[in-house]
Structure 1
Amino acid sequence: MSNLIVHGGTPLAGRIIPSANKNAVLPILCATLLSAEPIRLHGVPEITDVKKILEVFRNLGSRVEVDFKTGLLDVHHRDTHFDASKDRLPEEMRSSIMLVPGLMARFGAARIEDDVKGCTLGMREIDPHVEVFERFGAQVERQPDGLLLHVQAAKLHANDHWTDYASVTTTENFVLCAALADGTSTLMNAASEPHVQEFCLFLQMLGAQIEGLGTSKLKISGVDRLKGGEFTFAEDFHEIVTFLALGAITGGDVQVKNSTPEQFPLIDRTFAKFGVRIEHKDGWSRAITDGPLKVKEPFTRNILQKVEAAPWPYLPVDLLPIFVALGVKAEGSVMFWNKVYDGAMGWTSELSKFGAHAFLSDPHRMVTFGGKPLAPAEVESPYIIRVAIALLMVAASIKGRSVIRNATPIRRAHPHFVENICTLGARIEWVEGD
């Protein structure tokens, strides 16, 4: 277990450059399996999930050369091999399920381990993914320790599909299968998040024929092979929002490099609900506050201010905990609504240890009654990346020493996150132990 010691109360200030988005990096790494040509990636973050994927590649015979100091990765799957009877995929990260299409396309077989999982965001079923694989011609066999998938003649067959909901990973698995399938495939109710668009741009660079980027309908015409190439990751909008929020909650002045401000209008309006104005200028974004945070009152007097999160182009659910932290600090009441995951809001008891007033209405909704006196505390983070960060944010805004226990999930998504915050003036350190 890794704990964070936070000496809060210092306004954070300065400029910072975010890392790449884990949710773009991991599917793109999995997509490299579709090509037998050399691929070079720039801006690869040094996070645990990336290291696990690269270790899988090495174990399968791929050539992997990475320098995390520069973020440069060279990967070549020319000599890659796979034996479904003995080769295993990582169980401890959800993204390993995106290795399946590449393995099926290259070797005609793949596995899904029984315990494949990621953050503890409630029930996260694998059935939508299995359904996609079956539609492309995979035969699925249940075994004692997982699922075995076979494709006759190692060739996937194009199809049209309409998903139950706009799932990011299901969309990416469909595109991965369709890229080398025989014919044209169409996906309705596709996810359109920025990282999904970045993932599709990467595949287009390799030669995939994809239409409809950024919309809920994708059309993919399969090709015989994908080439190699070179690709540079964009900044992670999750990190951009997090660093801006850290500046706001501590009463500081943080500027964050942001090359995609066109993705931010709804995020900017959400910040404004807490009295924070976001300025985008010359490739940088800045959070500006005028005194203590205060919730903007709705014109409809009998309702609470609210923040609703759902699949893009809604506010992303991954960002909801970041705004919960602002809600705890800001004077006024806010209802937060997670429209995707059951049980992902059940950490109000940890907020209460700081003295925060937060009420869990049901598995999807939480109400914060902000502006109350807060005090340093020792809290326990659930295994959810941005909940750990939200607890860190609250601690950073309070003068005194707090402890965030089990903050390990942060390392799954954000390289050198604590070190980066410390360059802004924070006093935070990792402490290993139980």
Structure 2
Amino acid sequence: MQKFIINGGRRLRGELALQGSKNSSLPIMAAALLCFGECTLHSCPALTDVYAASRILNFVGCKCTFSDNTAVIDSSAVGSTAVPEGLMREMRSSIIFMGAMLGRTGECTVSVPGGCELGPRPIDMHLSALRKMGIDIRENGGDIICRAFGGRAKGAKISLAFPSVGATENVILAAVTAEGETVINNAAREPEICDLCSFLRRCGADISGDGESRIIINGKKQLHGCEYTIMPDRIAGATYLSMAAATKGEIILTNACVPEMEPFISVLEQTGCSIYTSENRIYMRSGTRLRAVRDRIRTMPHPGFPTDAQAVLMAALTAADGTSVFEENIFDCRYRHTDALLKMGADIQVLGKVAVVKGVEKLHGANVEATDLRGGAAMAVAALCAEGCSEITKICHIDRGYEKMEEAVRLLGGEMRRS
């Protein structure tokens, strides 16, 4: 089993180009199922989750190849409507293939997805919304068997109880080829939703309102292939900014999605970092010990502070001057990384959905185990600013969302290697 070995205490300095977005790539790859013809996706990150999505596409009959951050997907022929449980469990967002398969064939068989253990992530909203679109859904021995009455989903008015990204994506994927108009109220507003909709419009879909809480979709009988570039990964950007800030470093992020990262940048500025932005570049300099964030950091759906950035910022603030308070409002089990940070000398108290982080003078290296994708990244942030050597095991979690993290860190002057 591979692990990361990190020698901390080095200031990270340099320039880094952001990878393409994991959270955009996966739904867009699923969306390629809807297209009759070939889709070419540029800036697709080389991640284990992307490889898992490729395996699902190939299994159902598509021809999917991946090379040099470009995925080429030919969905001219789809030979299967069932995704095996083993493939579904390889990644947490595999449930998006349900909406895509329904949009393409009018039927599918899937199972509950796997991935990070972040507590319950029920798909009730997904199923309820699809039933409103005329989808008959039955469960049989762990399988979820879906079939559209008449072979094609029907447009419907859907109001989500919570602006779930996954539910919004599944409804969009089913609706773009449904009969009639679909209206999604209380839709997720994340930038990755907009990226998915931009791709689908390039393929001939009729979608408006993405980025707002009400999305309107007029179904088309058929979509065509296209060439598309995936947006930059705002969470990877937040991670590398956190690493540089924690190590009193200096970084220039290129290929950055600046407006989409503003909710994170505005909080990071409160730590005393100097941050300057242009169209697609972010310059950040720390140079001194970080200050604690005065206001409570509350994770919220976009445009609020992203839950995926909570752990990496917390790791940076463990050695800040003062006390910072986090409030996690999206996932029940998103503080699992705190035990590893405590082992490294952090002072953190978790009380339900609140974590109180009292900054310490310094962290020390330790042997820790990645608990999930962003939690593992937080351990890397802490290890880079700690004194001594740290080892992080179960880095398969980190590889799900970061393209060769160790190479990015070494490019910035850090000591991090894979063993």
Measured against the shorter chain, the TM-score band is over 0.9
Corresponding residue of 2:231: 234
Distance in structure 2 (CA, Å) of the matches to 1:74 and 1:425: 34
- 1:106 touches 1:154 (CA, 8 Å); kept in 2? no
Distance in structure 2 (CA, Å) of the matches to 1:124 and 1:82: 27
Distance in structure 2 (CA, Å) of the matches to 1:327 and 1:86: 42
Task: Indicate yes or no: 2:351 matched with 1:361.
Answer: yes
Task: Indicate yes or no: 2:348 matched with 1:348.
Answer: no
Aligned in 2, Cα 1:353/1:85: closer, same or farther, shift over 3 Å?
A: closer
Task: Indicate yes or no: 2:101 matched with 1:103.
Answer: yes
Task: Indicate yes or no: 2:88 matched with 1:90.
Answer: yes
Q: 1:377 aligns with which of 355, 359, 366?
A: 366
Corresponding residue of 1:301: none
Q: 1:272 aligns with which of 245, 263, 269?
A: 269
Paired AA for residue 322 in structure 1: V
Paired AA for residue 98 in structure 1: I
**1:329 match: secondary structure:** coil
Distance in structure 2 (CA, Å) of the matches to 1:85 and 1:418: 33
**1:413 match: secondary structure:** coil
Gaps of 5+ in 1: 299-304
Distance in structure 2 (CA, Å) of the matches to 1:6 and 1:340: 30
Shift of 1:182: 0.6
Cα deviation 1:5-25 (Å, max 9, x = unaligned): 111111111111111111100
- 2:323 touches 2:358 (CA, 8 Å); kept in 1? yes
Distance in structure 1 (CA, Å) of the matches to 2:70 and 2:90: 25
Task: Indicate yes or no: 2:67 matched with 1:48.
Answer: no
Task: Indicate yes or no: 2:204 matched with 1:207.
Answer: yes
Equivalence map 1:250-329=2 (5 Å): 250-281=247-278, 283-296=280-293, 298=294, 305-329=295-319
CA RMSD of superposed structures (Å): 1.7
Shift of 1:98: 1.0
- 1:105 touches 1:154 (CA, 8 Å); kept in 2? no
Paired AA for residue 77 in structure 1: S
Shift of 1:158: 0.4
Cα deviation 1:280-335 (Å, max 9, x = unaligned): 13632121224211225x4xxxxxx4211111010110000111012201110011
- 1:357 touches 1:372 (CA, 8 Å); kept in 2? no
Aligned in 2, Cα 1:289/1:135: closer, same or farther, shift over 3 Å?
A: same
Cα deviation 1:374-402 (Å, max 9, x = unaligned): 211112221x2111111111110013111
Corresponding residue of 1:409: 397
- 1:40 touches 1:72 (CA, 8 Å); kept in 2? yes
- 1:240 touches 1:258 (CA, 8 Å); kept in 2? no
Distance in structure 1 (CA, Å) of the matches to 2:153 and 2:363: 57
Aligned in 2, Cα 1:89/1:408: closer, same or farther, shift over 3 Å?
A: closer
Equivalence map 1:162-181=2 (5 Å): 162-181=159-178
Corresponding residue of 2:65: 65
- 1:356 touches 1:374 (CA, 8 Å); kept in 2? yes
Shift of 1:218: 0.4
Mean Cα deviation higher: 318-327 or 80-89:
80-89
Distance in structure 1 (CA, Å) of the matches to 2:84 and 2:9: 52
Shift of 1:204: 0.8
Aligned in 2, Cα 1:133/1:322: closer, same or farther, shift over 3 Å?
A: same
Aligned in 2, Cα 1:31/1:83: closer, same or farther, shift over 3 Å?
A: closer
Aligned in 2, Cα 1:265/1:101: closer, same or farther, shift over 3 Å?
A: closer
- 2:85 touches 2:111 (CA, 8 Å); kept in 1? no
Q: 1:331 aligns with which of 288, 301, 321?
A: 321
Cα deviation 1:117-155 (Å, max 9, x = unaligned): 222111111111111221111111211131111123321
Corresponding residue of 2:15: 15
Aligned in 2, Cα 1:102/1:388: closer, same or farther, shift over 3 Å?
A: same
**2:125 match: secondary structure:** helix
- 2:363 touches 2:387 (CA, 8 Å); kept in 1? no
Distance in structure 1 (CA, Å) of the matches to 2:98 and 2:207: 20
- 2:256 touches 2:282 (CA, 8 Å); kept in 1? no
Distance in structure 2 (CA, Å) of the matches to 1:190 and 1:428: 40
**2:6 match: secondary structure:** strand
Distance in structure 2 (CA, Å) of the matches to 1:381 and 1:203: 35
- 2:88 touches 2:114 (CA, 8 Å); kept in 1? no
Task: Indicate yes or no: 2:408 matched with 1:420.
Answer: yes
Distance in structure 2 (CA, Å) of the matches to 1:99 and 1:379: 34
Cα deviation 1:382-428 (Å, max 9, x = unaligned): 1x211111111111001311111222211111111211111111111
Distance in structure 2 (CA, Å) of the matches to 1:85 and 1:2: 29
TM-score (norm 1): 0.93
**1:273 match: secondary structure:** helix
Distance in structure 2 (CA, Å) of the matches to 1:52 and 1:260: 26
Cα deviation 1:340-390 (Å, max 9, x = unaligned): 11121133222111111000011x1101000333211112221x2111111
Cα deviation 1:189-236 (Å, max 9, x = unaligned): 100111111111111111111111210110111111111111011211
Distance in structure 2 (CA, Å) of the matches to 1:79 and 1:58: 11
Distance in structure 2 (CA, Å) of the matches to 1:293 and 1:178: 47
Q: 1:386 aligns with which of 359, 366, 374?
A: 374
Task: Indicate yes or no: 2:179 matched with 1:182.
Answer: yes
Alignment coverage as a number of residue pairs: 419
Cα deviation 1:83-137 (Å, max 9, x = unaligned): 54979752231221111122223333212214x1222111111111111221111
Paired AA for residue 272 in structure 1: E
Aligned in 2, Cα 1:345/1:86: closer, same or farther, shift over 3 Å?
A: closer
**2:115 match: secondary structure:** coil
